[in-house]
Chain A
Amino acid sequence: MPIHESDICVIGGGITAAMLVERLAELKPGLRITVVEAGRSIFDRENRGQYHRRALEYGEHPWHDDFIADQQAEGMISMTMAVGGQALHWGGACNRFSEEDLRLKSMYGLAEDWPLSWAELERYYVEAERRLNVAGDPSPYPEDRRSAPYPQPAMPLSYNLQVLKKWAEQSGLKFSPLPMSRNVSAPFGGRGQCGLYDTCGDVCPTGARYSPDYTYQQLIAAKKVTLHDRMLIRRLVVDEGRSTVAMAQGYHQDRPGEVTEYRARQFVLASGQCWSPHLLLLSASARFPNGVANRSGLVGRFMNGHKFISAQATIDEETFPGQNMTHSLISREFFRCGPGTAFVRHDTRVWESSAGKEPRLRGAGGGLLLGDEVLDDWRGRALKGSSVRLRTYYDSHPSIDSRLSLDPASKNRYGDPMPRLERRLDAAAEAREAATLAHCTAVFERMARASNGRLSGPPSVSTYWDHPAGGCRMGADPATSVVDSHGRSHDHENLFVIGAPTLPTGGCTNGTLTFVALSLRSAVKIAES
């Protein structure tokens, strides 16, 4: 039976693990760090131009074999399981949460406070932005004060977004370029400069949009980490008579009958909001019948993220769809909820759009269009004003029954039950759903009215929660949380959970920067341990 020993064993090879390992190697050079990832390494970046082309022309998935067919979860919004994780194909959005996210209970009597101060988190936001080389402009809202500037000026607004910013700001809301983890002005971190292929969410041919595979390759080349890919950890084993984790048991995809033991002084669970609580639940034993780190019974509970409301508007201004469709504008106007008003928090986003202005095969009367007729019909719609895509991600507080559970009806090749995720709002959030939709609709209508625009239809509420998090929420009280503010398990002193699973609530804007900031903070504590 193979046995691997290290100082720190990191389970999961996504963006938070990449950042954690990079930081640990700086804090304690010489640490023996092993990263174990269930999926494979996809380090063929020389082929990404080709993958980009085939994704556009054929709709092919550009990350070949980045999933494990029998390791899937019901309710998960991505199949990806590979070195780099879902950040292989994220858009690169790097918004900060706001202080209100950490003080929901004390400010509004809702959900739960986070067990750390805003000033503390803000320090790590700065560090995360530096490592991800975020391009952003200071927020026009003074409450969004920063202790350090962004490492790069904002991604320059396309002509289209300049037009849309003027349009949107007539409503009185202030908009900024969305902060992005993209090398705008020069290569950085071994990655190229942005060439505006505009396929960030699929594959970036130059690597300008941060992707963790670059970090792993650099760490491996520098011998700062040992990476074991295609190795599924199925169980954490706790020391007999003690509360420390003794080992993680893994199974390689090519050797499903052979257990590999990972022994380490510290174990870090960095497998995201789905697979982290799943492994803890799966590690149940006679001594820990509810799973590892689950004395509170809250592993897999309070699964969060946020819902969103989408709309399309048509405006009179002229734009040219296709300039930079993956960049957007953001307003943080409603990150704060004033006293005496009904609670609602959300960001407000604006993208260029070609909705309703695509070529079509049949005209308004249903007749078949051919050749020049297609072009004339297309121009008749495309050159008359513009479409705008609008969205709000809104604060959606989870109930305790918003959960990840083990699904006995779905098992992998080993017979392990797979996760089932069911997200539910708490009672207060459920009660304000209609008011939130009405509020966001009013915001969209206000934007449209202020500048002679029209909503193309009623706004719609998402059918899933975006930017998912939770399942191992942090807190000071072991009875009401799974880990402390550094991600250390209340039950097992040498077990940490980092990143998305630790969030008590999911905020009202993209979460990745927050996952990374929290992980960098955890790194300091792990290094001290």
Chain B
Amino acid sequence: MNRRALLQWLASGAVSLPVWRADLSAVGLAQADLLSTGHVFVLRDVATTVLPSAIGAKGQAEAVDNFLRWLRDYREGVPLSHGYGEPRLVRSGPSPAPGYGNQLAALQQAATGRGGRFGALPLDTRRAILDSALTEAGVQNLPQRPDGRHVVADLMAHYFRSSAANDLCYHARIGRHTYRAIRVTTVRPTPFSGGRGL
């Protein structure tokens, strides 16, 4: 599905996303240079499947917004960490945005072929579509940080490797890599009050 077909599909009314709609203008995205509105809709739709329900629809939307900010601020050709013990110069690659657009369009095309909007398909069907796409992209595990191989793995990595997700996992306010007074770390982290089953 190309961009025009995707927009036609979106305009047809096939889309009825039960997700929190964040104000994209607040994110400040220059979407024409990154992902189209249609691509972002598909990304939000997929996010409801690949991000945990414990953070709620609002949290999922915020996770997508954060990922889009990451994409917007991505810089090409920048030296990556070569600190002590890493004496090799590696630069960041080209923006993953074009690849993401194609991958999102392909996901929706696969979903359409199986009956409609991605998020409305049975879970096993969604899993099969994603499994196929990730396998084709050579993705076996979550990257340490988004690496451009597949937009879904990158969205998941961006969230699940975040400090917030770490807190959610451990039911505790650890605050990894955030500013904390030292004394805060000397005691057992306080319980995390949000999230499912807490």
Contacts and interface: CB of A to CB of B under 8 A. Distances in A.
Contact of A58 (B75, B89, B142): B75
A162 B177 contact: no
Contacts, number: 169
A162 B81 contact: no
Contact of B181 (A158, A196, A320): A196
Contact of B84 (A69, A77, A359): A77
B74 interface: yes
Q: What's the interface size class on B, roughly?
A: 35 or more
Contacts of B53: 371-372
B83 A78 contact: yes
A372 B186 contact: no
B112 interface: no
Interface string A380-398: 0011000000000000000
A188 interface: no
Contacts of B4: none
A475 to B, nearest CB: 28
A90 interface: yes
Interface stretch (A95-103, A197-205, A480-488): A197-205
Interface in B117-147: 123, 126-127, 130-131, 134, 139-142, 144-145
A378 B54 CA distance: 14
Given A76-B87, A159-B187, A201-B84, A368 B127 contact: yes
Nearest to B163: A322
B186 A158 contact: yes
A322 B176 contact: yes
Contacts of A321: 166, 170, 174, 176
B52 A371 contact: yes
Interface string A316-345: 000011111100000000000000000000
A361 B134 contact: yes
Nearest to A467: B84
Interface string A225-252: 0000000000000000000000000000
A69 B160 CA distance: 36
A325 B87 CA distance: 22
A58 B92 contact: yes
Contact of B141 (A77, A360, A370): A360
Interface stretch (A59-67, A287-295, A521-529): A59-67
A263 interface: no
Contacts of A78: 82-87
Nearest to A381: B169
A362 B140 contact: yes
Interface string B143-183: 01100000001001000110101101110101111111111
Nearest 7 Cβ contacts at the A-B interface: A322-B176, A359-B160, A158-B185, A375-B52, A195-B179, A368-B131, A322-B174
15 contacts: A58-B75, A60-B79, A67-B79, A77-B84, A79-B82, A80-B84, A159-B189, A184-B182, A320-B174, A322-B175, A323-B176, A325-B176, A358-B161, A371-B48, A374-B52
Interface of A: 55-62, 64, 67, 69, 72, 76-80, 86, 89-90, 155-159, 162, 184, 194-199, 201-202, 320-325, 358-362, 368, 370-372, 374-375, 378-379, 382-383, 464, 466
Interface of B: 48-54, 70, 74-75, 78-89, 92, 123, 126-127, 130-131, 134, 139-142, 144-145, 153, 156, 160-161, 163, 165-166, 168-170, 172, 174-189, 196
